[in-house]
Structure 1
Amino acid sequence: MLAFINSLFYLIFAASPGGSKGGFSQFWETYMNYPGFEVWKFVNLFIFVAALTYILKKPLSSTFKAKREEIRAELIKAEEAKKAALAKLTEIEAKLAGADAEKAAILREARAEIEQEKARLVAQAEEEARKLKAQAEGEAVRIGQVAKLQLRRFAVEESIRRADEKLRSKVNGEVDSMLIGSGIKAIGGMN
């Protein structure tokens, strides 16, 4: 199409009244029809792009609009997800801060329980030691009493044995008959 327009311009303005090239045809040939830079090619491209834009404007516009709305919806969803994630992060950080406080409280309680248990065990050990001491003292007293009793028995038995030995060594037939006679008199005689 532009080739036709270019040829028309060339026919109209190329033939000048004097037969020499000048004026518009010289300008056209020098600047507008420069090899490799033909203006008509650019004008043809401009018309093609304008027509293509006009033809595809409605379908592309609605497609781009739908894509823009889809992207906007995705951005809104992403923003909501970001807000939800930030809220969850804040909640988790609060729980972590609470966990540190809870851990410290548990440690304090555990230390207090350990101290109480330690005090209870010390008191229990002291009570057990006191009971054992009292039991040992009672056992010592009982063993001492048993030993004293055994010692008395032994002393009595030994005294009897020695007295018996002394008597046997001193008692002969004559002392024996005298003792029997005095015993009989003490009970009232023989009938």
Structure 2
Amino acid sequence: MLLALDTATTTASLALYDLAADQLLSEYTWEARRRQTQDLLVTAQQMLAQIGQTAQAITALAVTSGPGSFTGVRIGISTVKGIGVGLPTRPQVIGVPTLAVTAAPWLTLMQQTAPAAKLCAIIHAGRGRYNWAFFDADDLYWRPTADDHAGGTGEDLIAALHAVEAPAIWLTGESDPAVAAAVAPLSHV
């Protein structure tokens, strides 16, 4: 069983996934703000209990590796390392880019409904700054190209959206009212 953690932003998520059956067993997302350390392990234990499992069933761990809150990323990685050390057999540990996790739920839908579109995953970095990456619908590995992974101000993000040549751009992730207002007049977004 895989335990996946995302603590890189103010929204935290945990998921339990049966690797053999290719099935999501449990998922929980909450506005953690600065409470990840208080809620993370308690929530994981509750999720395991709800599906009738214990931590000993965990054979793999996944964690968001950034970009995101420096403290949030450290909390996630430290938690995964701690869980891994406490298990009877050493689990596989997988780091997944936060922007790929943000994009993943939408890529299958985009592939089915708008295969020529691009998806822009956005993470608010604080103080008017953002991290973003563009994804193609047909990339089943959810890999942003190095050229498409960027960081900057809201104005930089809007300029990047203007520069993309695609019939449509889907947006997902975190934003604020100023960016939402700047995006509204763009016909292809």
**Which range, TM-score by smaller chain?**
under 0.3
Greater Rg by CA = 1
Task: Select the structure that is richer in helix.
Answer: 1
Task: Select the structure that is richer in strand.
Answer: 2
Of structures 1 and 2, the one scoring higher in RCO (CA 8 A, sep 6+) is: 2
Under a length normalisation based on structure 1, what TM-score does the superposition of the two structures give?
A: 0.12
